[in-house]
Amino acid sequence: MNVYPIEVQRAILEAMPIAERRLFLTAGHIANELVILRKLILLSNNTPAESEIEYHAQACQSLTLVKLFALKACAGWEFLQGMRYQPFVQDYQTDADANLAPCLSRLGAYFSNNRNLLTYIRNKFAGHYDHEEINRVLNEIPDRTFHFYITEQSGNSLYYASEEILFNVLATQAQPNEDLRAIFNRLIDEVDEVAAAITDFAQGVMIVVAKKYFPDGRPSAAHVHDVTAIPSRNVPLPFFVDFRDALDEGDTPTADRSGTPA
């Protein structure tokens, strides 16, 4: 794909009042974080599980990434809420090319819905750990065997029984006729929805800033760069990873450093 580096001179940034500069750069930062986390979430389900253990590991990895996304998405929305009533942001919303008002409307509708899963996860398991919510699940432990998967290499063990707490709590957020898999699919849909809205907002801000502060109303692109975009189906993100070749000296993997389970 083609990549177009856009040059932003210091004089352009200094021409913006500090509040505009803060929105311009921070909106891009928030969009970067959510785009990166969204990619990892999608790729974490891209590696076929060859056993139940691998399936459990992939699910835990995906949910951990979703928790990080929830934390950043809620923080990003709080930042935008704090900026949206600034007079210059009100002016930004009148720009038809930027299309900012619909983005803010989509985000406002999502986060004002008290059934949204990202806010729930952020409040209960990402921003902090809610003792009452955890106790609610632990007071009704199913009569079955739970598992901890211990590996010889440090960093690959999976304390799966601990993660089942969150899986069970997610089940309490089910809508009628919705099982746990359907809840998780809804969660991924909400990740896509919020990531798209905030990315669209950041791009809209760039459009307005370009019109206001760049010569001729548009930034000048430096030389076009051609980068290789790897098809997503070819990008695995497995949970179990052998890091011996990266951590040990030399090119040949050697025995595990500890020799004992982590």
pLDDT in tens, 224-235: 889 999 999 899
pLDDT at 257 exceeding the cut of 50: no
- Among 2-11, 129-138, 196-205, name the most confident range: 196-205
Residue 230 included in any domain: no
**What is the C-alpha separation between 186 and 179, in angstroms, rounded?**
11
Mean pLDDT of all residues belonging to the chain:
89
Q: Is the pLDDT of residue 68 over 50?
A: yes
Q: Which two tokens stand for residue 53?
A: 């253990």
Whole-number Å distance between alpha carbons of 169 and 125: 10
What are the tokens at 22?
């803060």
Give the distance, in angstroms, between the CA of residue 242 and the centroid of all CA atoms in the same chain: 25
How many domains is the chain built from?
A: 1
Supply the pLDDT for residue 260. 44
Q: Is pLDDT of 106 > 90?
A: yes
Whether the predicted pLDDT of 18 surpasses 90: yes
Mean pLDDT confidence for 2-25: 93
Looking at the DSSP bridge assignments, the partners of residue 3 are 225
Is position 6 within any domain? no
- Taking alpha carbons only, the member of 151, 149, 170, 142 closest to residue 62 is 170
Q: Which domain holds residue 116?
A: 16-212
Residue 223 lies in a domain: no
- 255 vs 120, which has greater pLDDT? 120
User: Whole-angstrom Cα distance, residue 150 to residue 152?
Assistant: 7
Mean local confidence (pLDDT), 105-123 = 95
Domain membership flag for residue 126: yes
- Tell me which of 138 and 254 has the higher pLDDT: 138
Exposure on the CB side of residue 215, measured as CA atoms within 13 A? 7
| Across 43-52, 104-113, 209-218, least confident range | 209-218
Asked if the model's pLDDT at residue 86 lies above 60, the reply is: yes
Q: b/e per residue, 78-91, with b = 16+ CB within 10 A?
A: ebbeebbeeeebee
Provide the pLDDT for residue 78. 97
What does each C-alpha distance from 66 to 4, 71, 74, 228 come to in angstroms? 30, 9, 12, 27
Would residue 172 count as lying in a domain? yes
Q: Other CB atoms closer than 10 Å to residue 193's CB: what's the count?
A: 17
| Residue 10, domain member (yes or no) | no
pLDDT, residue 258, reads 43
How much is the average pLDDT of 161-169?
86
The answer to whether position 1 is within a domain reads no
Distance CA 161, CA 159 (A): 6
Measured CA to CA, the distance from residue 194 to residue 155 in angstroms comes to 31
Residue 238 lies in a domain: no
CB atoms within 10 A of CB 235: 12
